[in-house]
Chains A and B, each alone.
Chain A
Amino acid sequence: MSSRDEILARLRAATADVTTRPGERGPVPIIAATSESAQATLTLFVETVTDYRASVVRCRPEQVGAEVAAALVRGRAHTVLVPSGLDPAWVERARDAGLRVRPDEDDEGRPLSADQLDGIDAVVTAARVAVATTGTIVLDHAPDQGRRALTLVPDHHVCVVRAEQVVHDVPDAVALLDPARPLTWISGPSATSDIELNRVEGVHGPRTLDVVVVD
């Protein structure tokens, strides 16, 4: 008997006493905090992101480019990676400020290697959804966010979130996501609690996270 068949046979024997059918429990209960208002949700999101020692700014749509440039300058970035689907207006000011803005491709048009990504200071992306109660940004790696490595290897991530993308609690976000896509949930900069259980920011992922909330 193959390992597969043997394990399945063991499990059928082990659960022979079970009288319910799969799915009989009914729909998964949605247990979530409720929002008082869209503004309250947004305010909470800013607070929870700030708690992780990420920086958050709120701005109007026409100010996004200036805020992105300011964050990159604060982080002393020289080269900035931009996914193909990003709104070009968001990095115009950074380009004007003399930063080298480059797409995810080398001279021959191939995606950058991990080593090449390691030589880039920062990345600017959009997001798919954000969660107020937990201060989380979720990427689904659509063209305005790029493949997963882009938001991982560079040390500084500037993420632009539109106000209407901020949902109140975790179940609201799960309901919006497409499981067929790779998903990355980001709550603050890279951190560890492994040394005496104190949270220390900055291990392998981006050590600086800037969130620009647009409303």
Chain B
Amino acid sequence: MTELPVQDTSPTFLGMPSFQRAAAGALADTQQRRNLAHATATIRAKRAAAVGEVEGWEDLRLAGAAAKDEALHHLPDYLEQLEANLTARGATVHWARDAAEANQVVVDLARAKGADEVVKVKSMATQEIELNEALEAAGIAAWETDLAELIVQLGEDRPSHILVPAIHRNRAEIREIFARRMGAVGRAAPADLTDEPERLAEAARLHLREKFLRARVAVSGANFAVADTGTLVVVESEGNGRMCLTLPETLITVVGIEKVLPTFADLATMLQLLPRSSTGERMNPYTSMWTGVTPSDGPQEVHVVLLDNGRSRVLADEVGREALRCIRCSACLNVCPVYERTGGHAYGSVYPGPIGAVLNPLLRGTSSEVDQSLPFASSLCGACFEACPVRIDIPSLLVRLRSQVVDEANGRSAEAASMKAAAWVFGDHRRLEASQRAATLGGRLLGGRTLRSLPGLGAWTQARDLPTPPTETFRQWWARTRGDGPATGGDRPAGHGDRPASGGEPHTPEEGP
């Protein structure tokens, strides 16, 4: 079938260096590494406790994956059902092929209301399309109201985590940003602001309340969009979401088309999986559900923008489509040894961490330096799959993307070629032994030194050292210490030639004494 369009890389991330180059800078930032190590260790412990309480956790994961697969496999049907139910309840549904179209819809709606500002609930979809920048260009201020987003926006920074975008900032840095910047865009921080989290939260409450009370237009995302009822769901902690979803006259919700759930009953599964995976709580403080317009309660003008922006292309990939199950909980980030050390910025996207390493190349294709490098931003340890509440097999998807990147770079598959070569070597014991002798010769030449790279294995050796070949093979060692005599360096010792290949064919030729 014809290729579906990729997602354009947003201006912020155009020309991003490879993950490995960007990570080198992040690794040198010791303050950020300390902040990340502390935060991810905290959240890992909380998640483990919250998940450990639930006896049926593995069943919930299966049900969560099944619910998302059901929606994804029949996405056009469920989207039409969602649209019909939303429309029946007084909402207006818009469709956006890409970021530019979605941004235009929101700008036009805000302008039609005469608004020069909107309040915003933290939303990955609107970050992805860089809606704030589009609104600003149209002369409309977009106020982020989630505490972490506020920290990022005031600090003129970029988010580095899906759930806690300011995870790279500690309390002292946050105090400094609030004290320095709040006054320029609204109510200033109290003069005696300290770095106690309670005081920082209070400063955000005071700063944002005037914006909530006067706002006429709000923009949100949605965690779930329920097809069989038309219900939208926002899961949050602070109450800023409730403020935005309740007080303004007009509510515009930008929803990635993969957010659809088939039925309201599926929420029973998702509302158990998401909070425990995400913040490690039994339940997040606030979850809001609304179905179109409710007369005399909340916004009387409700818009929903259904966003494609590369998702249909991912869906067309029969294997890669499982990445669209993602419910943006960020559990995979918190358990990832690579993310913990590099932080989120090196991933060159609003979606960092293991899921970002999969999702970005799927959404944007693998033509840019950063997207080519992301599948290699992993040690393939598998912790992300174990933590994923909807069972996305991230390591397998990464391996598949690696071979795609290599194929595209070489016009053929280098991995396939090297595997073919390996099969030829392993297929005959003489060839194997010859190659082992060649390797141990290299090992003796190297002594104790480490191999930093090998031509032809660029992407692989960029982030890791090669094991130094041993000075002696297992076969040589065996022959020398247990065998009939010193290794001849040629054929097998006499008397072994009639044995079948099994016991004698080591699958790990580097194994030695």
Contacts and interface: CB of A to CB of B under 8 A. Distances in A.
Interface of A: 2-4, 6-8, 10-18, 20-23, 25, 27-33, 48, 51-52, 111, 114-115, 118, 131, 133-136, 141, 147-149, 152-153, 169-171, 174-175, 177, 179-206
B48 interface: no
B286 A31 contact: no
B212 interface: yes
Contact of A31 (B38, B70, B269): B269
Contacts of B264: 174, 177, 179
A205 B296 contact: no
A198 B41 CA distance: 11
Contacts of B229: 179-180
Contacts of A171: 265, 268-269
B282 A134 contact: yes
Interface stretch (B185-193, B312-320, B345-353): B312-320
Interface stretch (B52-60, B110-118, B416-424, B429-437): B52-60
Given A33-B56, A148-B246, A203-B238, 20 more contacts: A2-B95, A13-B2, A114-B213, A115-B213, A174-B271, A179-B231, A183-B287, A187-B283, A187-B286, A193-B164, A194-B146, A194-B166, A195-B174, A195-B201, A196-B170, A197-B39, A197-B46, A202-B202, A203-B205, A204-B208
B283 to A, nearest CB: 4
Given A14-B4, A15-B74, A174 B268 contact: yes
Given A189-B285, A196-B42, A196-B170, A4 B201 contact: no
B194 interface: no
Contact of B246 (A52, A149, A185): A149
A17 B318 contact: yes
A18 B74 contact: yes
A163 B215 CA distance: 39
A133 B204 CA distance: 31
A204 B42 contact: no
26 contacts: A3-B95, A3-B101, A7-B95, A7-B308, A10-B312, A10-B316, A11-B315, A12-B76, A22-B74, A22-B78, A22-B262, A48-B282, A131-B283, A149-B297, A149-B298, A152-B247, A170-B272, A174-B265, A183-B287, A185-B271, A185-B286, A191-B238, A194-B146, A196-B35, A204-B212, A205-B239
A165 B298 CA distance: 26
A105 to B, nearest CB: 12
B179 to A, nearest CB: 15
Contacts of A196: 35, 38-39, 42, 170-171, 197
Contacts of B94: 3
A148 B96 CA distance: 30
B294 interface: yes
A28 B4 contact: no
A170 B270 CA distance: 10
A31 B63 contact: yes
A190 B204 CA distance: 13
A148 B239 contact: no
Nearest to B248: A114
Given A11-B257, A20-B73, A179-B291, A203 B282 contact: no
B265 A3 contact: no
A204 B209 contact: yes
A187 B198 contact: no
A158 B278 CA distance: 28
A183 to B, nearest CB: 4
Contacts of A203: 147, 201, 204-205, 237-240
